[in-house]
Amino acid sequence: MWGVALTMGIASAGMAGPVAAAMQPLAWAPTALTPDQARLVDVVAELIMPATDTPGARQVGVPQFIDRALATYCDKAQAKLLRDGLTRMDADARSANGAIFVNLTAPQQIELLTRYDQEAAALRKQSPLAPPPHFFSALKELVTVGYFTSEPGATVALRYDPVPGAYHGCVPLSEIGRAWAT
């Protein structure tokens, strides 16, 4: 059922973690991202939504989804927020560890992302109703949407039923098992 999306991420499938993946050439041609940005997005997306017992962001095509969103959906302000965020990630990686983000070790990468996540959380705490934008929140939102609206995300990680037929209002959660995709 999700063959197409699986093959989209074929270049990195089976690789052991972000470093190995980053070494590979991209299996797709970005239109809005530069090749370097695309490699970075590829690694960060997988850190945000990693492969577990279900496919990860890379395998379901989230990096391509983000490239497409930047090309066709985001307005200038949001595109700038995301691009500046990617630039900052490499700058922070260099100053902390002397290498661009994709070449850091996994713990180093997670440490940086944790810092960004805390920054974003602080902004939300400051003004919960309208928090100032933070690139990591924006990126995480796109990764999450891209993941769960992909075919494997909707049908494997979640449950999806395009034509339910009946409505049953009170069912044991154990019978359904996962959240509905729609």
Query: Using CB under 8 A as the criterion, which residues of the chain lie in contact with other proteins when the complex forms?
Result: 5, 47-50, 52, 54, 65, 69, 72-75, 78, 110, 113, 117, 120-121, 124, 134, 137-138, 140-142, 144-151, 154, 157-158, 160-174, 176, 178-182
Tell me how far, at minimum, the Cβ of 77 lies from other proteins, in Å: 9
Burial call 44-68: b when 16+ CB within 10 Å, e when fewer: bbbbbbebeebbbbbbbbbbbbbbe
Sign of the C-alpha dihedral, residues 91, 95, 96, 99? positive
Q: Considering the complex, state which of residue 98 and residue 165 has its C-beta at the smaller distance from other proteins.
A: 165
Tell me how far, at minimum, the Cβ of 174 lies from other proteins, in Å: 7
Given a contact cutoff of 8 angstroms between Cβ atoms, the answer to whether 41 and 32 are in contact is no
Q: Report the C-alpha gap between 116 and 136 in whole angstroms.
A: 6
Q: Considering the complex, state which of residue 102 and residue 154 has its C-beta at the smaller distance from other proteins.
A: 154
Q: Considering the complex, state which of residue 98 and residue 127 has its C-beta at the smaller distance from other proteins.
A: 127
Q: Considering the complex, state which of residue 37 and residue 137 has its C-beta at the smaller distance from other proteins.
A: 137
Tell me how far, at minimum, the Cβ of 155 lies from other proteins, in Å: 9
Tell me how far, at minimum, the Cβ of 144 lies from other proteins, in Å: 5
Q: Considering the complex, state which of residue 104 and residue 158 has its C-beta at the smaller distance from other proteins.
A: 158
SS (HEC) of 53-107: CCCCHHHHCHHHHHHHHHHHCCCHHHHHHHHHHHHHHHHHHHHHHCCCHHHCCHH
Tell me how far, at minimum, the Cβ of 61 lies from other proteins, in Å: 9
